[in-house]
Amino acid sequence: MSNYSINIKATIKDAFIALDEFNHGDQTLFVLDDEDRMVGTLTDGDIRRGLICGKQLNDSVESVMHKDFKYIMQSEFDMMILKKYRDGDIFFIPMLDEDMHIVEIYNFLKYKSFLPIDAVMMAGGKGERLRPLTDKTPKPLLPLGDKAIIDHNIDRLISYGVKNISVTVNYLKEQIEEHFAEPHNGVQVLTYQEPKFLGTIGSIKFVQNFKHDVVLLMNSDVFTNIDFEDFFLHFQQHEAEMSVAAIPYIVKVPYGVFDLNGRNIQGLIEKPTYNYYANAGIYLIKRRALEEIPENTFFNATDLIDKLIVKGKKVIRYPLNGTWIDIGNPQEYAKANELVKHLI
């Protein structure tokens, strides 16, 4: 944060020197008093306007700083407010504590968003349908373009400001553990071993480092450009206990289909098209709902859906209309490898 801050007693010349060291387009300094409390912001535009009005290089930054600045309080974090600032082209937003000290700086030139969620990637499967490719390499580490399948998902989560990321492992677990032994793009991804295969969600019970009230769970072998922010805001808006990302699935029948009542024909539907939504293997879940998952028991995410519905909890679907490929067989793997060539 010291790279972005300057003391209120510093001169305009000092501010020019500090701004000149920035390597991004939106140059902003946060002005702090002697108690490190934030009192203003300063851009090169503020300085230029001050100089036009007669300010001198030896004048203090206090004389030209912007005092009516935008910020977000740590105790009142609201994703919608943060999004509003970003959409209004405010790309550097400080989070302040109750004493106006900077706790964090949200940099929207580097990240798409800053979601208050934890993320868990399931990476314990054997990838049997991709053999022999997975005989000695776990499926999440198979190359997809210039990096491993799982890294595409990890990098996308990081781009949305998700810092608390865990991976559950089983098959050839040592390779995945070694893969994440060092921080990945500045984030230390933690791995947790499941002692046996526990389904698509059972191993989440071994994750111990949750910090937020919402957990994103996803399969590590999907290739997707899902908008995690929109997914989260949709979940928040509908006050759900669990949200399931769902992909449109269309079934076209090439024949005329009878509308029957027993053996009696009521009518004929010519070449009908049926629209469904299929489970994409990406979920947002209230952390408290994870208590419904039994310990050390084979348990699928669909089992949790059923259990929550029976208990009268709100489970919703989120329509995923972008790219989504389940890399489960050689054909889908080849398709994903071809698609990744054309993505920026």
Give the separation between CA 263 and CA 265, rounded to whole angstroms: 7
In a shared domain, residues 218 and 313: yes
Does the residue 19 lie in any domain?
A: yes
pLDDT digits (tens, 9 = 90+) for 231-252: 999 999 999 999 999 988 888 8
Does the residue 113 lie in any domain?
A: no
In a shared domain, residues 27 and 88: yes
Domain that holds residue 68: 2-107
Mean pLDDT, the chain, integer:
88
In a shared domain, residues 135 and 95: no
* Kind and range of the H or E run holding 216: strand 214-219
Does the residue 166 lie in any domain?
A: yes
In a shared domain, residues 166 and 96: no
Total number of domains in the chain: 2
In a shared domain, residues 81 and 134: no
- pLDDT score of 175: 93
Which of 107, 129, 162 terminates a domain? The answer is: 107
pLDDT digits (tens, 9 = 90+) for 20-73: 776 555 578 889 988 989 998 888 788 888 888 888 888 888 888 888 888 888
Instruction: Quote the percentage of the chain above a pLDDT of 90.
Output: 38
In a shared domain, residues 135 and 180: yes
Q: How many CB atoms lie within 10 A of CB 13?
A: 14
Give the separation between CA 92 and CA 110, rounded to whole angstroms: 10
Q: SS3 for 63?
A: helix
Residue found under tokens 């480092």: 209
Does the residue 146 lie in any domain?
A: yes
In a shared domain, residues 14 and 130: no
Amino acid letter, 27: Q
In a shared domain, residues 298 and 170: yes
In a shared domain, residues 57 and 122: no
pLDDT over 90 (residue 259)? no
Does the residue 254 lie in any domain?
A: yes
Which of 107, 141, 174 terminates a domain? The answer is: 107
- Which has the closest alpha carbon to 161: 186, 144, 191? 186
CATH of residue 147's domain is 3.90.550.10
Which of 107, 142, 170 terminates a domain? The answer is: 107
pLDDT over 70 (residue 116)? yes
Task: Mark residue 265 as left, alpha or beta (left: phi above 0; alpha: psi -120 to 50; beta: remaining).
Answer: beta
pLDDT digits (tens, 9 = 90+) for 280-307: 999 999 999 999 999 888 999 999 999 9
- DSSP designation for 254: S
Give the separation between CA 10 and CA 98, rounded to whole angstroms: 25
Does the residue 46 lie in any domain?
A: yes
Does the residue 261 lie in any domain?
A: yes
In a shared domain, residues 232 and 253: yes
pLDDT digits (tens, 9 = 90+) for 71-105: 888 888 888 888 888 888 888 888 899 899 988 88
In a shared domain, residues 103 and 146: no
| Strand bridging mode 72-73 / 102-107 | unpaired
In a shared domain, residues 160 and 61: no
Q: SS3 for 186?
A: coil
Does the residue 112 lie in any domain?
A: no
